[in-house]
Amino acid sequence: MTLTPEQKAEIEAQRAAPAPTLRTVSEGMEARLFTAHPVLDHGFVRVIDYMGDDSAIVQAARVSYGRGTRAVSNDEGLIRYLMRHWHSTPFEMCEVKLHVKLPIFVARQWIRHRTANVNEYSARYSILDREFYLPAPEHLAAQSATNAQGRGDVLEGAEAERALEWLKDDATRAFDHYEAMLSTEGQQGLARELARMNLPASVYTQWYWKTDLHNLFHFLRLRADSHAQYEIRAYAETICDIVADWVPLAWRAFEDYRLGGATLSARGLDCVRRMLRGENVTQESSGMSKGEWREFMKVIDRG
């Protein structure tokens, strides 16, 4: 992880000047505020601000659902009820603003989650740092033979060395030319908005990203999944740790019902009921396609 001296000074100043407040705070999140948590080789995630905690979710639910929630005797039970029944609006009462430093190709995946407010570092106005992502050897993998979006076996030996050398050399050469175009001696140099064009997608960018807890959970359900690309999953897993400290009751419910849970189709549920009655259910008698059947068997741990 690389922080500029200015960023380090800003973090130290922010953490050295706590402000009194009348609003409810999360002690776990207070401990996280402003601290940069390293991700990948030069990236980080840090919490800039947040609103709400577990009690904000409960408070909003009791306002919006009124008497319908009074049978739930405790906050955790209510939060689990809300998560279990897909009641999303109470979770929207909590918000978080993150400062994230990440490779551009990860940012382009991340921005597909359009339920957030984003402000990104602009290479039209500022000069990018000479930082680009290089995969660690254990993450340098071949293309999967069965999944067009995934990785296969880890590359080794000369093939791995060649790939890493090309990645590093190409990024270095592109950045050399970028800097040369900006500062041509004796001339004005190329405009920043044009000089950036040849930079690779491995170059790091930064942004402020603000979202509510409901949409953050959706992001984490997809990007912290084992099938997600490793690089964005590394950021998602760091954010998971932050959320677990921020709203521990909501996190436990999310971990149980979303990350660790599974959804069955009507046909899948029918097959489970038939199996419990002792029937020998096969793919042919299930009404499912071969792909659906494989996924179903994996969910019930028979694949």
Cite the active site residues.
223
* Ramachandran region, residue 209 (left: φ > 0; alpha: ψ -120 to 50; beta: rest): beta
Question: Kind and range of the H or E element at 206?
Answer: strand 204-212
Measured CA to CA, the distance from residue 259 to residue 277 in angstroms comes to 29
CB 62 within 8 A of CB 69: yes
For residue 244, how many C-alpha atoms fall within 13 Å in the half-sphere facing its CB?
A: 10
Q: Where are the alpha helices (DSSP H) in 133-282?
A: 157-182, 192-195, 213-223, 230-246, 248-254, 266-276
Query: Token digits for 114?
Result: 């359009």
| Rounded Cα distance, 289 and 12, in Å | 57
Which pair of structure tokens corresponds to residue 61?
């639910």
Structure tokens at 163: 């790939």
> Hunting for tokens 């050295």 — which residue is that?
16
84 three-state secondary structure: helix
Distance CA 145, CA 98 (A): 36
**43-51 and 117-120 as β-strands: parallel, antiparallel, unpaired?**
unpaired
